[in-house]
């Protein structure tokens, strides 16, 4: 087994163990069936038996399957009460290397704790829902037999990094908003019930979801039916007074460092909130009540979506605990092994060091690794095409905004060149796609360095290309606070429905759409901000990875494209290719091995 720079010993050891136990899973003969509860065995058969899978329109792909199985083996079969205990069972040699033993033996890992590393766009929400169903139905079975099984619970907390992902999770469990009311029939739970559940168990799960979902403002206040399914963004439980919501993520005039946002180091905007304002006092009071309520539960599973937001390493060997981790520790304190933490992230690592010494430090609790290269090879996401135009590479251009003595920004010539090139690609895609299917509408995403630049980009498209107001959509993190809930709702609805409409053609954002923006038609990305932080780079690219052409008739075309890219050739078709305009190409190429570098690039330059 290869031990390269990104080798993850816990994931490797657990995957090997799981694959051994799952030999024969498809025909019902696997050893795993005898090692799990009857309830789990019934779910495994429904999810993975070949005869049943052939009757369904959709099934879990190999990356989802491995994530589900690794979690079940780790938690139910091996039943390790702590992260250290899990290492001892599947990767004991890793405890002898470096500082791994000291790390996994720390108090914040003294309970079952798992991180699922899955590439953006590969359906981790389905994995989350499958694991929730597995936990819920096993807890129900234990209660029905008057037994106590500490491995299972009916209490769940799902934590999102911000409002976009938070709203997406509410859509997944409660359904999309229709006239201000959520339509449960449009939820993932209902729409994909034939995948998640045998028919006889569906109403049980539907009833639990309908009766127990609590939005962030309802946690600890709403009466639920013998269980809890709470959905919140992490700000609700953060003990940092400075960070209160997504609306205050971006300080005008200064590029953001994600670490500063997470750690609560950014100053508040004037007029927003102050340390002694009534708003802050109200939030402190509400947060304290929510923490007390969650801490008082006897058992709880916490699902952290986009979990890289809640971990931070200042430098290797010295961990700086973010405020959300302090809240997690408080909630977990009295629960022991009955507190379970399941993290999901495409980028579960921290960048440490600088220059040539810069490297990734992965979270120690990663139990499965389904990375971007594997997802591209399997055709589960778009093929990445990093375009570096010859004229861009030949010019000494600045790709950040220029500022005058007073700090007022103007678009640099480098940014203008990038925007023109990106829009030219978008127009070509629009023309080409229209000849194949006029209902397919490719979009361009521009990621700006801060909120003072995004209006300049919008004005540029109007002045340069004559775009109408409805052809451009600007979505910054302060937009919801600026508009208010009433006006934000239709904007959000339009944003998440862009796949079905020709307009807008261009979406401009800063950080608001870096995660949870689950649309399929982003085909061109132009980043007008530094990509030196790899984690931010991968999050930006992730916005355009979801497949646009899912019809079986295009499978052969896409397969040929992947084969050509794998051998260094240019893809023949633009179908399900993500084009990223970038000046910093050699670095990007090293980070995303297996993508098409663009017509004018030579390896080694």
Closest by CA to 10, choosing from 114, 124, 122, 130, is 114
The secondary structure of residue 229, as a DSSP letter, is E
Q: Is residue 289 part of a domain?
A: yes
Query: What's the pLDDT at 245?
Result: 40
Sites in the chain below the pLDDT cut of 70: 1-6, 238-287, 307-324, 386-399, 477-485, 511-516, 529-538, 580-605
385 and 253 co-located in one domain: no
Query: What's the pLDDT at 286?
Result: 59
Query: What's the pLDDT at 533?
Result: 57
352 and 487 co-located in one domain: no
468 and 441 co-located in one domain: yes
- CA pair distance 392, 394, nearest whole angstrom: 5
111 and 169 co-located in one domain: yes
Query: What's the pLDDT at 358?
Result: 78
Which residues, including other chains, have CB under 8 Å from residue 472's CB and lie 6 or more apart? 458, 461, 462, 504, 505, 506, 507, 508
283 and 164 co-located in one domain: yes
Q: Which helix (H) or strand (E) holds 317?
A: none
CB 576 within 8 A of CB 566: no
Q: How many domains does the chain have?
A: 2
Measure the CA angle with vertex 368, ends 363 and 372; round to 5°.
Answer: 90
Query: What's the pLDDT at 534?
Result: 64
Closest by CA to 169, choosing from 493, 516, 545, is 516
293 and 438 co-located in one domain: no
Domain C-terminal end among 326, 342, 370 = 370
CATH number at residue 475: 3.40.50.300
Q: Is residue 108 part of a domain?
A: yes
Q: Is residue 596 part of a domain?
A: no
193 and 59 co-located in one domain: yes
Structure tokens at 37: 């509860």
Query: What's the pLDDT at 322?
Result: 59
Query: What's the pLDDT at 15?
Result: 98
- CA pair distance 442, 206, nearest whole angstrom: 35
- Number of residues assigned to the chain: 605
78 and 158 co-located in one domain: yes
Domain C-terminal end among 325, 349, 370 = 370
Domain C-terminal end among 353, 370, 387 = 370
Q: Which helix (H) or strand (E) holds 158?
A: strand 155-160
The secondary structure of residue 235, as a DSSP letter, is G
300 and 384 co-located in one domain: no
Query: What's the pLDDT at 482?
Result: 67
Does this model's pTM top 0.95?
A: no
**Kind of pairing, strands 349-352 and 359-362?**
antiparallel
Query: What's the pLDDT at 594?
Result: 47
Domain that residue 153 falls in: 9-370
Per-residue pLDDT of 167-225, as tens digits, reads: 889 999 999 888 889 999 999 999 999 999 999 999 999 999 999 999 999 999 998 87
26 and 149 co-located in one domain: yes
Q: Is residue 560 part of a domain?
A: yes
362 and 394 co-located in one domain: no
Q: Which helix (H) or strand (E) holds 233?
A: strand 228-233
Closest by CA to 476, choosing from 136, 249, 229, is 249
Q: Is residue 36 part of a domain?
A: yes
400 and 511 co-located in one domain: yes
């Amino acid at each position: 087994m290869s031990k390269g720079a990104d080798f993850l010993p816990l994931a490797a050891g657990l995957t090997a163990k799981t694959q051994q136990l799952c030999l024969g899973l498809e025909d019902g003969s696997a050893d795993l069936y005898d090692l799990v509860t009857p309830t789990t065995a019934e779910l495994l058969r429904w999810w993975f038996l070949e005869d049943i899978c052939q009757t369904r329109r959709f099934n879990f792909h190999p990356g989802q399957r491995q994530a589900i199985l690794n979690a079940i083996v780790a938690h139910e079969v091996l039943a390790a009460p702590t992260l250290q205990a899990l290492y001892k069972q599947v990767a004991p040699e890793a405890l002898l290397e470096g500082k791994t033993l000291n790390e996994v033996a720390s108090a914040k890992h003294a309970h079952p704790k798992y991180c699922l590393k899955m590439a953006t766009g590969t359906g981790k929400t389905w994995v989350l829902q499958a694991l929730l169903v597995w936990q819920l139905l096993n807890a129900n079975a234990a209660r029905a037999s008057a037994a106590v099984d500490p491995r299972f619970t009916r209490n769940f907390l799902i934590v999102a990094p911000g409002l976009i992902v938070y709203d997406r999770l509410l859509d997944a469990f409660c359904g999309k908003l229709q006239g201000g009311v959520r339509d449960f029939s449009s939820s993932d739970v209902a729409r994909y019930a034939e995948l998640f559940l045998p028919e006889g168990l569906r109403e049980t799960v539907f009833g639990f979801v309908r009766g127990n979902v609590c939005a962030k403002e309802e946690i600890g206040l709403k009466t639920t039916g013998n269980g809890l399914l709470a959905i919140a963004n992490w700000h609700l439980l953060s003990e940092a007074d400075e960070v209160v919501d997504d609306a205050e993520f971006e300080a005008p005039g200064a590029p953001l460092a994600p670490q500063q946002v997470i750690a609560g180091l950014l100053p508040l905007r004037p007029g927003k909130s102050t340390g002694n304002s009534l708003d802050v006092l109200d939030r402190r009071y509400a947060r304290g009540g929510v923490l007390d309520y969650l801490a008082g539960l006897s058992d709880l599973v916490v699902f952290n979506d986009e979990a890289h937001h809640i971990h931070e390493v200042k430098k290797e060997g010295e961990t700086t605990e973010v405020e959300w981790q302090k809240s997690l520790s408080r909630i977990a304190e009295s629960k022991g092994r009955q507190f379970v933490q399941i993290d999901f992230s495409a980028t579960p690592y921290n960048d440490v060091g600088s220059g040539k010494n810069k490297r990734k430090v992965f979270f120690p609790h990663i139990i499965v690794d389904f990375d971007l290269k594997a997802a591209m090879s399997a055709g589960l996401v778009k093929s990445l095409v990093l375009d570096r135009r010859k004229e861009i590479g030949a010019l000494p251009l600045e790709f950040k905004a220029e500022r005058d003595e007073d700090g007022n920004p103007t678009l640099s010539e480098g940014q203008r060149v990038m925007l023109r090139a990106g829009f030219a690609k978008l127009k070509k895609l629009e023309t080409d796609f229209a000849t194949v299917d006029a209902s397919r509408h490719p979009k361009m995403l521009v990621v700006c360095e801060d909120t003072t630049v995004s209006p300049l980009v919008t004005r540029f498209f109007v002045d340069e290309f004559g775009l109408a107001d409805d052809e451009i959509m600007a979505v910054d993190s302060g937009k919801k606070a600026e508009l208010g809930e009433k006006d934000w709702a239709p904007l959000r609805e339009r944003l998440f429905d862009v796949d079905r409409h020709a307009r807008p053609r261009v979406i401009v954002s800063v950080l608001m759409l870096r995660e949870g923006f689950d649309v399929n038609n982003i085909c061109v990305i132009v980043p007008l901000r530094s990509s030196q932080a790899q984690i931010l780079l991968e999050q930006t690219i992730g916005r355009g990875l979801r497949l646009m052409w899912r019809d079986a008739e295009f499978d052969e075309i896409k397969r040929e494209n992947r084969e050509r890219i794998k051998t260094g050739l240019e893809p023949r078709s633009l179908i399900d290719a993500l084009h990223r305009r970038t000046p910093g190409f050699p670095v990007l190429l090293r980070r995303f091995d297996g993508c098409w570098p663009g017509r004018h690039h030579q390896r080694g330059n």
